[in-house]
Amino acid sequence: MTRFTGSHSVNVTPFTADGSAIDFAANRRFIDWQIEQGVPGVILLGTTGEFLTVSDDERRAYVEDTIAHVNGRITVWVGASNAYSVNAARYAREAQDAGADGLMIIPPYYYTPTEDEIVGYYDMITKTCDLPIMLYNNPVTSNVDMSAKLVGRLTREFDTVRYIKEASMDVGRVYDIVEETEGVMNVFAGERIVESFLLGAVGYVNPFGNYIPRASTRIWELLEAGRIEDAKAIQRHITVIEHTIAEGHPTYGHQCYSKALAAEAGYPVGDVRPPLTQFASLGEEGRTRAAKLKGIMADLDRLLDDLEAKAA
């Protein structure tokens, strides 16, 4: 089985101007830009990809079109999460049939399932397809926090469960999972990029690839090259971006800003679907915050130019 590492962008789903359909042409342009910037892989239909607002027909067409357009140039993971195990298993099989490289799957949300129910959920999925699975531990959205011991159990029971996006906000969990699984589980950071790397993470699931793909890709390359202080310099800018978006804004408000900032970078992808807060509804407050964020993006480009000159 191929071992995946590095900073993989968790992509927005581009919509038409009125939000009524997926904009396939915009998505192809967007993907090409990310590839040009060196992104090693993308993840479709995660939280940032608004997977809960996409119909089954849209999902199927979007996954097929993206994978066909990528044509093996980078890795494509597909989110196959659902509260109903049968649906999650069907999404997983459809992704495999379309040619996906792997799956990212959060536990069943809303129900607050027991550990045995979580194991049963992944059991049904793994019986449906044989793609590598990245567990997605995000207690904020799923109401489930998969402990290191549960991750170890899933790793031992299922040969294809070999990755996890660890987004519990407890960076020490990275170390705990590596220890519990004796290094078998490949941990991808969900936040605290540098700290996660130092504790044993092999990659990063990266929402910032939607508008700063160069910086959010290079940070992991710098870490792997041992340039920890240079990676920290990039992370400081990313932290300012996070805090700027979060000020006075609802949880996951970053989705509308991700799309607005992608447009600022020259790759418009529409706005978010309801009930998420649309950037257009933020008025002057949103435009002011976006202008500040665009300035940070420009600062990051200058920093990267300096770091590359330093390495030359």
Asked whether the bond before 275 is cis by omega within 30 degrees of 0, the reply is: yes
Task: Please report where in the chains the tokens 């067409």 appear, as a residue.
Answer: 61
The helix/strand/coil state of 153 is helix
Q: Above 70 in pLDDT, residue 82?
A: yes
pLDDT of residue 89: 98
CA distance 280 to 285: 10
DSSP bridge pairs for 76: 42
CB atoms within 10 A of CB 278: 18
Of the listed ranges 67-76, 176-185, 248-257, 282-291, the least confidently predicted one is 248-257
Would you name the residues annotated as active-site residues? 136, 165
pLDDT (0 to 100) of residue 311:
82
136: phi then psi, degrees, rounded to nearest 5: -125, 105
What is the band of 252 on the pLDDT scale with cuts at 50, 70, 90? low
Number of structural domains found in the chain? 1
Q: Which has more pLDDT, 223 or 255?
A: 223
For residue 258, tell me if it sits in a domain.
Answer: no
What pLDDT score does 251 carry?
57
Q: Are 149 and 156 in contact, with CB atoms under 8 Å apart?
A: no
CA dihedral 176, 181, 186, 187 (to 10 degrees): -20
CA distances from 28 to 86, 144, 214 (A): 30, 34, 18
Cα first-last separation, the chain? 35
pLDDT in tens, 86-134: 999 999 999 999 999 999 999 999 999 999 999 999 999 999 999 999 9
| Mean pLDDT of all residues belonging to the chain | 95
Two tokens, residue 109: 């949300």
Residue whose entry in the numeric block shows the structure tokens 């649309």: 278
pLDDT at 125: 98
Q: Would you say residue 243 lies in a domain?
A: no
Classify residue 245: in a domain, yes or no.
no
Assigned domain for 12 exists: yes
Is residue 310 in some structural domain?
A: no
Residue 291 lies in a domain: no
What confidence tier does 69 reach under pLDDT thresholds 50, 70, 90? Answer: very high
Give the CATH number, domain containing residue 141: 3.20.20.70
Per residue in 134-151, pLDDT tens? Answer: 999 999 889 999 999 999
pLDDT at position 249 over 70: no
Residue 16 within a domain: yes
In a domain, 276, yes or no: no
* Domain range for 135: 6-225
- pLDDT digit string, tens, across residues 257-307: 999 999 999 999 999 999 998 998 889 989 999 999 999 999 999 999 999
